[in-house]
């Protein structure tokens, strides 16, 4: 097959950056091609956000079943089948992947399945199952995502040492699991496995888990995770993994050398931009720390070449990639737009959930800036009490004028609740602004209203 089709814009990569950008570009009337070597939806849908949340939902249900007596309900003979938990996850993923394929079709985006190589400006060569196809485009958006980062220690290639991609293919639960990396991915899998009865040990190199999250909240989460029986070793470096009867993970912790025997090791030590298929040097594309360098309009140093999502490093989150895709599409269509990173919410699906937006208390302390803090616990909220889910708090940080600069929530529905505070940070609202808005009763959102009230006065429902 030797054909060359021309499009106004080509997206290389169909993850939440590429496919959302493609939809927006098509909506703006451009002719669009999307090139994807795997399934549309990228890491988020196929190997990240969605499969993990499906698994965590099964884990939540299992945890809740253990405490039905508290609600006056007796349940007998309960059990779970991990292979069916995994199969349900696949079903959720497939439904969403098909949905996105349908959306792209209705939007008249041409999707080419195959591995695209970007070697010449304005031209991409695609290896498809039917042969090589070349396309040209006026503008090209690189949306190639990221891949799990490897760590240079002996034993990482042993069977049973797996990445966050491979762990999603497992169908049998191991008896024990060592998670290397106490970041977002590590803790979400640790939570899921621990809930299903696996003995989990988390080994984190830095002095605390989740290094970018509010320190006070991380301390509380660490205690809660330990209470579930999870072993957490921070400030520790993994020296090697070797094959004994089981796998043996050797960890240096202070002056001590520990050896942990385990069936599985999950490496969750971060992700790195995936620039495969892009001839960085030949094209003269600028990179910094292995990521493509872009401006506020998501343009690289080459005219008509844009880059978005994990490929540009920075905040590697699906919703950031999607917004960057929209900005690139709109800029290509001639709109005056600019990417704005002022209020980016993020959520960590541990139990309890954690969600954050804006600046943290430790960052303000480091900068030597003055600030106000207000906290409100879920234990003083009627809805949380009725639901039997009272662990955690809302913590809001404001400047001296009361303008909300950041917030962290740990507790039920934190991932959804954070959106109200995201609006506050984005729009520069004060605590008083939020407290003056009527919040529905009885809802978890009242905790935000109370914490907001506490920035200028005392929360009403707090002694």
The residues that touch ligand NAI, with contacts defined as CB under 6 A, are 48, 151, 180-186, 188, 203-206, 211, 237-238, 268-271, 316-317, 346-349
Closer by beta carbon to ligand NAI, 349 or else 376? 349
Closer by beta carbon to ligand NAI, 117 or else 204? 204
Give the count of beta carbons closer than 10 Å to the beta carbon of residue 379.
13
Distance CA 123, CA 282 (A): 13
Closer by beta carbon to ligand NAI, 43 or else 430? 43
Assigned token pair, 79:
């059990």
Nearest residue (beta carbon) to ligand NAI:
183
Closer by beta carbon to ligand NAI, 32 or else 238? 238
To ligand NAI, the closest distance from the beta carbon of 346 in angstroms equals: 5
To ligand NAI, the closest distance from the beta carbon of 270 in angstroms equals: 4
To ligand NAI, the closest distance from the beta carbon of 313 in angstroms equals: 9
Which is nearest to 9 in space by CA: 337, 319, 334?
334
* Strand ranges inside 144-270, DSSP E: 146-148, 161-162, 176-180, 199-203, 231-233, 236-243, 247-253, 256-262, 264-267
To ligand NAI, the closest distance from the beta carbon of 154 in angstroms equals: 12
Distance CA 386, CA 384 (A): 5
Closer by beta carbon to ligand NAI, 238 or else 448? 238
To ligand NAI, the closest distance from the beta carbon of 318 in angstroms equals: 8
Assigned token pair, 161:
């040492």
Distance CA 137, CA 139 (A): 5
Is 441 designated active site?
A: yes
Distance CA 140, CA 284 (A): 15
Q: Residues with Cβ < 8 Å from 241, sequence gap 6 or more?
A: 153, 154, 155, 156, 158, 161, 247, 248, 249, 250, 265
To ligand NAI, the closest distance from the beta carbon of 180 in angstroms equals: 5
Closer by beta carbon to ligand NAI, 137 or else 203? 203
To ligand NAI, the closest distance from the beta carbon of 48 in angstroms equals: 6
Instruction: Provide the pairing of β-strand 231-233 with 199-203.
Output: parallel
Residue where the block lists tokens 């240096």? 252
Distance CA 56, CA 20 (A): 25
Judging by beta carbons within 10 Å of its beta carbon (0-12, 13-18, 19+), is residue 292 exposed, middle or buried?
buried
Assigned token pair, 59:
């884990």
Instruction: Provide the pairing of β-strand 247-253 with 256-262.
Output: antiparallel
Closer by beta carbon to ligand NAI, 148 or else 454? 148
Instruction: Provide the pairing of β-strand 4-12 with 115-120.
Output: unpaired
To ligand NAI, the closest distance from the beta carbon of 81 in angstroms equals: 25
Closer by beta carbon to ligand NAI, 248 or else 333? 248
Q: 304, 439, 441, 453: which one is catalytic? A: 441
Give me the phi and psi of 135, to 5 degrees please: -120, 155
- Segment 104-108 long-range contacts (CB within 8 Å, at least 24 positions apart): 104/19, 104/22, 104/23, 104/34, 104/40, 107/22, 107/23, 107/26, 107/27, 107/32, 108/26, 108/32
Residue where the block lists tokens 């931009």? 273
Which residues are catalytically annotated?
Answer: 441
């Amino acid at each position: 097959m030797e054909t060359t089709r021309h499009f106004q814009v080509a997206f290389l990569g169909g993850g939440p950056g590429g496919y959302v950008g493609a939809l927006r570009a098509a909506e703006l009337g451009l002719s669009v091609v999307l090139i994807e070597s795997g399934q549309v939806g990228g890491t988020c849908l196929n190997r990240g956000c969605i499969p993990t949340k499906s698994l965590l939902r099964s884990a939540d249900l299992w945890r809740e079943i253990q405490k039905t007596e508290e609600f006056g309900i007796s349940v007998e003979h309960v059990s779970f089948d991990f292979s069916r938990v995994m199969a349900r996850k696949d079903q959720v993923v497939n439904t969403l992947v098909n949905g996105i394929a349908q959306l792209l079709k209705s939007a008249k985006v041409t999707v080419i399945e195959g591995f695209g190589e970007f070697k010449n400006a304005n031209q991409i060569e695609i290896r498809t199952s039917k042969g090589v196809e070349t396309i040209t485009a006026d503008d090209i958006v690189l949306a190639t995502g990221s891949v799990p980062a490897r760590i240079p220690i002996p034993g990482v290639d042993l069977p049973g040492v797996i990445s966050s991609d491979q762990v999603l293919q497992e169908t049998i639960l191991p008896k024990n699991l060592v998670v290397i990396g106490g970041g977002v991915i590590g803790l979400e899998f640790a939570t899921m496995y621990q809930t299903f009865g696996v003995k989990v040990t988390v080994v984190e190199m830095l002095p605390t888990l989740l290094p970018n999250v509010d320190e006070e909240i991380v301390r509380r989460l660490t205690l809660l995770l330990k209470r579930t029986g999870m072993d957490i070793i921070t400030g520790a470096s993994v020296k090697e993994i070797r094959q004994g009867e089981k796998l043996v993970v050797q960890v240096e912790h202070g002056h001590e050398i520990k050896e942990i025997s385990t069936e599985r090791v999950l490496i969750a030590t971060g992700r790195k931009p995936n620039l495969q298929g892009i001839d960085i040097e030949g094209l003269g594309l600028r990179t910094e720390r292995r990521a493509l360098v872009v401006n506020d309009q998501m343009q690289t140093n080459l005219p008509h070449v844009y880059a978005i999502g994990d490929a540009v490093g920075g905040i590697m989150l699906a919703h950031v990639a999607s917004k960057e895709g929209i900005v690139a599409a709109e800029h290509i269509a001639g709109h005056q737009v600019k990417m704005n990173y002022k209020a980016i919410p993020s959520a960590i699906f541990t139990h309890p959930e954690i969600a954050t937006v804006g600046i943290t208390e430790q960052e303000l302390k480091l900068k030597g800036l003055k600030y106000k803090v207000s906290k409100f616990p879920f234990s003083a909220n009627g809805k949380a009490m009725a639901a039997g889910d009272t662990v955690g708090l809302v913590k809001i940080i404001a400047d001296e004028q009361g303008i909300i600069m950041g917030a962290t929530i740990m507790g039920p529905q934190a991932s959804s609740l954070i959106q109200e505070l995201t609006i506050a940070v984005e729009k520069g609202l004060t605590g008083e602004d939020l407290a003056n808005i009527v919040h529905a009763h009885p809802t978890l959102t009242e905790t935000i209203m109370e914490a907001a009230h506490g920035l200028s006065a005392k929360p009403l429902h707090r002694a």
